[in-house]
Amino acid sequence: MTQRAGISRTLTQLVRLLVALSVFILPAWSETAAERGKRAVDAALQAVGGDRFLQMQDRVEGGRAYSFYREQISGLSIAKIYTRYLGALAPGTLNIRERETFGKDESNYLLFTDLGAWEATYRGARPLDQERIKNYRESTLLNIFYILRERLGEPGLMFYSQGSDIVENVPVEIVDITDADGRTVTVYFSRFSKLPLRQVFKRRNTTYKDFDREVTAFSKYRDSGNGIMWPWDIRRERNGEKIFEMYSDSVEINRDLKDNLFTLPGNLKILPPPK
């Protein structure tokens, strides 16, 4: 009788345990790939700062920038990247301005605005060619941080979870994000921190009539001000070869950047576009 009572109690406890586990397991099983993908993206937004991230107005990243050719360092420079968000503009317009400076005196820089893009040196400012501008625009639109800051409410934006995996010994959730124009970026989110660790997209190569596979890795996250998490190491690869890496030694948030940073000086000579 005592043995039967013990077995009965054990079975009762097992049933209770299974019922408790089902509260967590069944919702995951019942989720669609779209729902699971959206959940991962929403968790990432909270991980980078939530509402504080959405209210970020500008950012300054300073450090060392390396460029590579065939896996060998081909350039090294002190770099500073100034970024300012513009708020809602016309559909299809980048809601961002960016100034990328190189060298201690910051006299050489690239300027990207909603009005155009230029490379500025002591000789003057030369408009960037249309292919380079197009690549910058596409890279920005598919950047996961730009998506989190600017595009989550965009009509036609879709999420699809590929499930979980382990990448470089880190458990990740893999999500495809596709916009209304059919552009897709695949993002790898840490299952522990929920932060983006890696993103991949394919860009059409007009020279060889095929596609380049572009990978960006994000690491060394730090609280960069007001609870906003930002990666201090950003690495880019193209077709398996490293092409760029930025090691930040400072990241500042909401510095009240002024218009003059994102405007060409009136006395700077405008050079002809590249041929």
Position 114 scores a pLDDT of: 84
Does 54 reside within a domain?
yes
Please indicate, yes or no, if residue 107 is contained in any of the structural domains: yes
Does residue 159 contact residue 176 with C-beta atoms inside 8 Å?
yes
Number of domains composing the chain = 1
Domain assignment present for residue 273? The answer is: no
Rounded average pLDDT per 10-residue block, the chain, 275 residues:
60 55 52 96 98 97 79 70 83 85 90 92 93 92 96 94 95 97 97 98 80 95 96 94 92 96 93 87
16 belongs to a structural domain: no
In tens, the pLDDT along 191-208 reads 999 999 999 999 887 777
Q: What is the pLDDT of residues 87-134, one digit of tens each?
A: 766 656 789 999 999 888 888 999 999 889 999 999 999 999 998 999
Residue 28 belongs to a domain: no
CA distance 205 to 185: 17
Print the domain residue range for 162.
34-262
| CATH number of the domain within which 142 lies | 2.50.20.10
Instruction: Indicate whether 222 belongs to any domain.
Output: yes
Give the three-class secondary structure for 65. strand
Q: Give the predicted TM-score (pTM) of the model.
A: 0.86
Q: Beta partners for 196?
A: 189
6 in a domain, yes or no?
no
Q: DSSP alpha helices (H): ranges in the chain? A: 2-30, 33-48, 51-54, 130-141, 144-146
Is the residue at 4 inside a domain?
A: no
